[in-house]
Structure 1
Amino acid sequence: MAVGSIDPYNDKSSDLCCYHGHKISRTPPIMAIVAPNFNRSLFATPLTLSQSRVRIPATMATPVASTGSTADQFKDHHPSLEVLGGARDSFCPIIKTHLDRPYNPFPVFGSNRHIETIFAAFFREIPDVRLKRECLRTKDDGTVTLDWVSGDARSLPENSPILLLLPGLSGGSQDAYVRHMLIRARNRGWRVVVFNSRGCADSPVTTPQACSTSFKYLMYSASFLGDLDEVVGHVTTRYPKANLYGTGWSMGANILVQYLGKEPGAKRFSGAVSMCNPFNLVMSDEDICKGFSKIYNQSLGKALGGILKKHLPLFEDIGGEYNIQLAANAETIRDYDEGLTRVSFGFNSVDEYLQKSCSADHIKNVQTPLLCIQARNDPIAPDRAIPREDIKMNPNCLLIVTPKGGHLGWVAGESAPLGCPWTDPMVMDFLQHLENEKSGTQQGVNVFQQAVEA
Structure 2
Amino acid sequence: MLANGLDSLLFSYVPTIVLALIIISWLLNVFSRAESPQIVYASSEKDADSTHGRALAQNCPILVERYAPPLLWGRNGHIQTLLFGIVGRIRPPRPSGRRETRISRDGASVAFDVFDSTIDPSKPIIIVCPGIGGSVESSSVRVFVDYATSFGHGVVVFNHVGVVCSVRQRRLFTYGGTDDFDVAVQYAKEKFRCHGLVGVGVSMGANILVKYLGEKPRRQKDFLCAMSVCQGYDILKVKRLLTQWDQGRFFYNYLITKKVLQTVKRNSNIFDTVKAGDGSMATVPLPNKERTLSATSLYEIDEYLQRRLHGYESVEDYYREHSCCNYLDKVTDVPLLIVNASDDPLVPESLMSIARNYAAKNSNALFVQTKHGGHLGFFEGRLLVPRTVSWIDRLAIEFINAVIQMKL
Is the TM value for this pair above 0.5?
yes
Cα offset, 1:282, TM superposition: 2.2
Counterpart AA for 1:88? G
| Equivalent in the alignment of 1:304 | 260
| Equivalent in the alignment of 2:404 | 435
Q: 1:287 aligns with which of 205, 223, 241?
A: 241
Cα offset, 1:419, TM superposition: 1.8
| Equivalent in the alignment of 1:49 | none
Cα offset, 1:229, TM superposition: 1.8
Counterpart AA for 1:245? V
Provide the C-alpha distance between the structure 2 equivalents of 1:431 and 1:400, rounded to a whole number of angstroms.
Answer: 15
Judged with a 3 Å threshold, the aligned counterparts in structure 2 of structure 1 residues 414 and 425 are, in CA distance, closer, same or farther, namely: farther
Is 1:205 equivalent to 2:157 in the alignment? no
1:409 aligned counterpart, secondary structure: coil
Cα offset, 1:395, TM superposition: 1.0
| Equivalent in the alignment of 2:191 | 238
TM-score by length of 2: 0.80
CA contact (8 A) 2:147 2:389 kept: no
Q: How does 1:331-410 map to 2 (within 5 A)?
A: 331-366=296-331, 367-386=333-352, 387=354, 388-410=356-378
Q: Deviations over 1:3-60 (max 9, x none)?
A: xxxxxxxxxxxxxxxxxxxxxxxxxxxxxxxxxxxxxxxxxxxxxxxxxxxxxxxxxx
Cα offset, 1:329, TM superposition: 3.4
| Equivalent in the alignment of 2:153 | 190
Judged with a 3 Å threshold, the aligned counterparts in structure 2 of structure 1 residues 436 and 91 are, in CA distance, closer, same or farther, namely: closer
1:90 aligned counterpart, secondary structure: helix
More deviation, 137-146/246-255: 137-146
Provide the C-alpha distance between the structure 1 equivalents of 2:207 and 2:236, rounded to a whole number of angstroms.
Answer: 13
Cα offset, 1:179, TM superposition: 1.6
Cα offset, 1:317, TM superposition: 4.6
CA contact (8 A) 2:36 2:64 kept: no
| Equivalent in the alignment of 1:108 | 72
Q: Which has the higher helix share?
A: 2
Provide the C-alpha distance between the structure 2 equivalents of 1:274 and 1:326, rounded to a whole number of angstroms.
Answer: 33
How many residues get paired?
348
| Equivalent in the alignment of 2:225 | 271
Cα offset, 1:418, TM superposition: 4.1
2:59 aligned counterpart, secondary structure: helix
Cα offset, 1:436, TM superposition: 4.2
Counterpart AA for 1:236? K
Cα offset, 1:140, TM superposition: 1.0
| Equivalent in the alignment of 1:224 | 177
Judged with a 3 Å threshold, the aligned counterparts in structure 2 of structure 1 residues 356 and 317 are, in CA distance, closer, same or farther, namely: closer
Is 1:247 equivalent to 2:238 in the alignment? no
Cα offset, 1:142, TM superposition: 0.4
- Which one has the largest radius of gyration? 2
CA contact (8 A) 2:380 2:391 kept: yes
| Equivalent in the alignment of 2:31 | none
Provide the C-alpha distance between the structure 2 equivalents of 1:316 and 1:281, rounded to a whole number of angstroms.
Answer: 28
| Equivalent in the alignment of 1:259 | 212
Provide the C-alpha distance between the structure 2 equivalents of 1:384 and 1:413, rounded to a whole number of angstroms.
Answer: 30
Cα offset, 1:316, TM superposition: 2.0
Q: 2:112 aligns with which of 146, 167, 170?
A: 146
| Equivalent in the alignment of 1:81 | 37
| Equivalent in the alignment of 1:169 | 132
TM-score by length of 1: 0.72
Judged with a 3 Å threshold, the aligned counterparts in structure 2 of structure 1 residues 147 and 414 are, in CA distance, closer, same or farther, namely: farther
2:224 aligned counterpart, secondary structure: strand
Cα offset, 1:420, TM superposition: 2.2
More deviation, 306-315/236-245: 306-315
1:193 aligned counterpart, secondary structure: strand
Cα offset, 1:141, TM superposition: 0.9
Cα offset, 1:183, TM superposition: 1.3
Provide the C-alpha distance between the structure 1 equivalents of 2:270 and 2:298, rounded to a whole number of angstroms.
Answer: 21
Q: 2:100 aligns with which of 125, 134, 143?
A: 134
Q: Deviations over 1:347-402 (max 9, x none)?
A: 22212222332222322211211111100121222221121212210111101001
CA contact (8 A) 2:36 2:63 kept: no
Q: 2:295 aligns with which of 323, 330, 334?
A: 330
Provide the C-alpha distance between the structure 1 equivalents of 2:119 and 2:368, rounded to a whole number of angstroms.
Answer: 32
2:131 aligned counterpart, secondary structure: coil
Counterpart AA for 2:84? A
| Equivalent in the alignment of 2:3 | none
Structure 2 unpaired stretches of 5+:
1-33, 43-51, 277-284
More deviation, 124-133/231-240: 124-133
